Structures are given as C-alpha cells and as structure tokens.
Amino acid sequence: MEDIYYSSTRNDKNKVLSSEAILKGISEEGGLFVPNEIPKLNCTIEELIKLDYKETAYAVMSRFFTDFTEDELKNCIEKAYDNKFDTEKIAPLKKAGDAYFLELYHGPTLAFKDMALSILPYLLKTSAKKQGIEDKIVILTATSGDTGKAALEGFAEVEGTEIIVFFPEDGVSAVQKLQMVTQKGKNTHVVGINGNFDDAQSAVKKMFTDTSFIEELKEKGYRFSSANSINIGRLVPQIVYYFYAYSSLCRNKDIKVGEKINLVVPTGNFGNILAAYFAKLMGLPVNKLICASNDNKVLFDFFSTGVYNKNREFMTTISPSMDILISSNLERLIYLICDRNSKKVSELMKELSASGKYEITSNMKDKLQDFRGGYATEGDTKKAIRKMYSENDYLLDTHTAVAYSVYEAYKKETSDNTKTVIASTASPYKFTNAVMTAIDDEYSKYDSFELMEKVSTIMHSDIPESIKDINKREVIHKDTCEKDEMKSIVERFLGI
C-alpha cells in the first residue's frame, strides 16, 4: 500500500511520515498531525471477529504507521499488550442494564490511557531509530489525572528518555495524585502546578512552539515529544479498541455483522471520541458518537451551537479527568470538517487564543451529524452510579457514570434503541470517595484509602496491586510551581 503522510492542522504544506509525526508530537507552528487520508481497514468484519486484541491492533495500526515494517510494529504491540494487563482480553466488554461497557482500565494504572501509553514508548524508540535520532527524548506532558501516571509508568527507566509531567495540584483525586508523586525512576519528574489543567496544557504547548528554547535544547542534545493525545502515536492505538468492541459484540451474537452501534465516550480533551470517529471513517458500523461532558460542558455547547467558548467558570468536579475547557483534539476534527483547510484552522485557533472563542461555519456544522453532545451534572453523575449499582450490581467510576447518565438522557429523548457501547475509562478504585458516597452517604466518614476495602467487597475483587497501600508509599516528587514557572522547572530538570 502507499505510504500515509501526516500534515499539520495549521500548515498542510508540512508533510511527514508517521515516525516523524510521533517523534515531534506537535508541529512547529502548534498544529496537530492528521493523516492525509483516513485509511480503510483491509480486512472484513468477519475476518476481524477471529482476531485477538494484539492481532486487531496490528490490523488497525498498520494502516496508519506505513513506514514501520511488519516486524517493527508487531514487536511494539507484543511488548505493549502483555501481562501488565490483568485480563487476557485486554479490553473486555461487559453488559450491564441496557448498555455494554468497554472496560478500558485493566492496565497498570487502572485507566484507559494505558491502552495507548503502553505502546507509545516502543513506537517512539522505534521512530527515533528509523529517523536516525540520537538526542535524548524529553516527554513533556500535562495531565488532568490519568495520562500522567500512565505516561510515567510507560517511560520510567526507558533508556534515552526523560519524562516531565505537570498536573493541577488541587485538580486530581487523592489516588491519582499519589500514583504520580510516588512514581519511581531516575528519568521521571512530576510537578504540581497552582492552576488547572488548561493552564498546564497551554504552558506545555507554548514550550513546544518556543523556537529559541527548542534550539537551546537541541544544542544540549535534547528534543521534546509528547505523551498527550495531541501525539498521533497516542491517538491511533485508541482506535483499536472500538473495532475490538464491535467484533466482541459479533462474537457474542449480540449484534449481526454490519449492524450499526452507538458509542458513548466521556470526553475532556476530545482524543478518545476522536479515535472513535476515526474508527467510523475506517469503516466501523457506527450510528451515533455521543460526546458526554460533565459540568465543564464546553463541548456540549459546541455541538449544540457551533460556537466554541471557553470563557466560563472552570468547574472542579468528581470526574476530574474531564475538567477541561480547551479540548485540544477538537482541532483535528475542525481540520477535517473544513475540508483540510489549514489556513481556516489557523484563523480559528488564533481567535481562540485571542478572545477565548470561535464559531464554525454552517457548512462545517452540517458535517457534525455523526456527533451528539450531552452533559451530566455532578448530581446526575452520582445518581447514575447509584442506579447502576442498585439495579445491576455493577460499579461505575465517576467518568463512566457521566457517559451512562448522558446515554440514559439521549435514549429517553430520542427513543433510539441501537445497541450501545459505553467507554468505561477508569476503575472505581481510583475515585473511591466519590463513587462510594454516591451509593450511600454513610461512606463519607471513611477516607479514600479505607474505602478501597469497601470497593473490594462490593466488586468481589482484590484491590489492584498497583494501588494497594499506595498511601503508605514514599512521596518522591515534591515540586510545585506557578504556571508561569513551568519553563524554568524544565530547564532545571534538564540542567539547561
């Protein structure tokens, strides 16, 4: 097959192969890399049904990473999806009530980010070798909670890399914070910022496009890359599990081959649902992509009005990984619906930077028919957890509960009975306080770590080893900073 090239959303003249796009993470002018075409899968759904997760991963990723040899890509996949996951299926599908939950939290950090961040280090190392790069790769990442730990886990002690993670000091759960600040590894650095995720993400993007700083890094033998979903090497592996979910439904005879399904995705930075959209464009039979937001409903408003407006109060909620007002991956969708007009995207992103908002054209809005926006308040989220547990003995984390609440509202409003898969993005063990008090206020007298035992009892499972006694581990990373000090922190870590 012909090579797939990647262009920047803000400069379509800049075309690179996948290994270079993965290494860079973000284009020089701040744009995100998008393939010059969304390739179709080169096997049928009937053939896909016979494949396990690793084989499905190769079938999907080989269509995008065309400059990787078969051996190179299969080696990355083999190393990524091994016994670090606590289930052979990697992404099991569970029916509960009237929906199917795609459990994406069986990796080492108990969140869906493991699905892509388990393979990204291997994709990056292979890319560096292919590109003849000998510089040390500095993974610079902002996190709203889960990406940070998953990236740290993936890159800890990986030769030729340093990883620096910034997180909002007061914007993650107690478990999420301890997962990061207790991370071992000589090449790992974790910093809490006095600000929110958008502050961290904006500062990181600014460093990626600071040409004099990039040149200074180069002279010292460093180059930046990203573990956020702005990196195409993060996004493409996420497409895989939507195909795997569909083939699981077919294998279980819950649907017929070719039957359309709905996908509901709890959404913050827009990467996970964009991967679902790419799956649809590749040929996955999808009816609606339902974008579920929490009280930070900037995406719900966008799909309702065509106006993206971040000028609003930032809400800190019980679903912290969705507490985002600047959804970076939406830029890739904007690029596609304006017919890959990078000049138009640049104009809109400048508007966003200058005024905090932009409006798409009516023609662009017409191309969003695949999507449906919805949102759940904190009260709705707690109600969804309580309902799913009382009626189905199935425990949802706070993010998956947002998606379930939005799905219930969608079904009531539309009477759409299409079989539906909900992306279950994190384990309830990561948000024990919010999950358990949603079931019964009586649990409010316990702390997050005591509640792990309670979750263990009602889930009929052992507390995962990765977080067992995490509150008793040594805190290794104690740095905090203001948002305007992030660059100087990076310089200190790298000795610049």
| Strand partners for 261 | 286
* CA–CA separation, 186 and 163 (whole Å): 10
3-class DSSP state of 496: coil
Strand extents, DSSP E, 284-418: 286-293, 307-309, 357-359, 371-375
State the sign of the Cα–Cα–Cα–Cα dihedral 166, 170, 176, 177.
Answer: positive
Q: What integer pLDDT is reported at residue 145 of this predicted model?
A: 82
Return per-residue pLDDT of the chain as tens, 496 residues: 689 999 999 999 889 999 999 999 999 999 999 999 999 999 999 999 999 999 999 999 999 999 999 999 999 999 999 999 999 999 999 999 999 999 999 999 999 999 999 999 999 999 999 999 989 999 999 998 889 999 999 999 999 999 999 999 999 999 999 999 999 999 999 999 999 999 999 999 999 999 999 999 999 999 999 998 899 999 999 999 999 999 999 999 999 999 999 999 999 999 999 999 999 999 999 999 999 999 999 999 999 999 999 999 999 999 999 999 999 999 999 999 999 999 999 999 999 999 999 999 999 999 999 999 999 999 999 999 999 999 999 999 999 999 999 999 999 999 999 999 999 999 999 999 999 999 999 999 999 999 999 999 999 999 999 999 999 999 999 999 999 999 999 999 999 8
101's tokens: 């939950």
Look up the CATH number of domain 93-109+234-461: 3.40.50.1100
Strand order in the sheet with 11-17: 11-17, 5-8, 33-35
Entry field: residues in the chain:
496
Exposure string of 411-431, with b = 16+ CB inside 10 Å and e = fewer, is beeeeeeebbbbbbbbbbbbb
Task: Tell me the Ramachandran region of residue 69: left when phi exceeds 0, alpha when psi lies from -120 to 50, beta otherwise.
Answer: beta
Amino acid at position 302, single letter: F
CB 383 within 8 A of CB 375: no
| Strand partners for 138 | 162, 224
Domain limits of the chain? 93-109+234-461
Q: How many other CB atoms sit within 10 Å of the CB of residue 169?
A: 16
115's tokens: 């699905």
Comparing C-alpha atoms, which of 228, 271, 277, 282 is closest to residue 64?
A: 282
44's tokens: 């049928």
Comparing C-alpha atoms, which of 101, 195, 182 is closest to residue 420?
A: 101
3-class DSSP state of 45: helix
Query: How far is Cα of residue 135 from the mean position of the Cα atoms in its chain?
Result: 27
Q: Show the 3-state SS of 67-81.
A: CCCHHHHHHHHHHHC
3-class DSSP state of 89: coil
Q: How many other CB atoms sit within 10 Å of the CB of residue 316?
A: 13
Whole-prediction pTM value?
A: 0.94
352's tokens: 């966003």
* CA–CA separation, 378 and 355 (whole Å): 29
Q: What integer pLDDT is reported at residue 146 of this predicted model?
A: 87
Q: What integer pLDDT is reported at residue 323 of this predicted model?
A: 94
Q: What integer pLDDT is reported at residue 228 of this predicted model?
A: 86
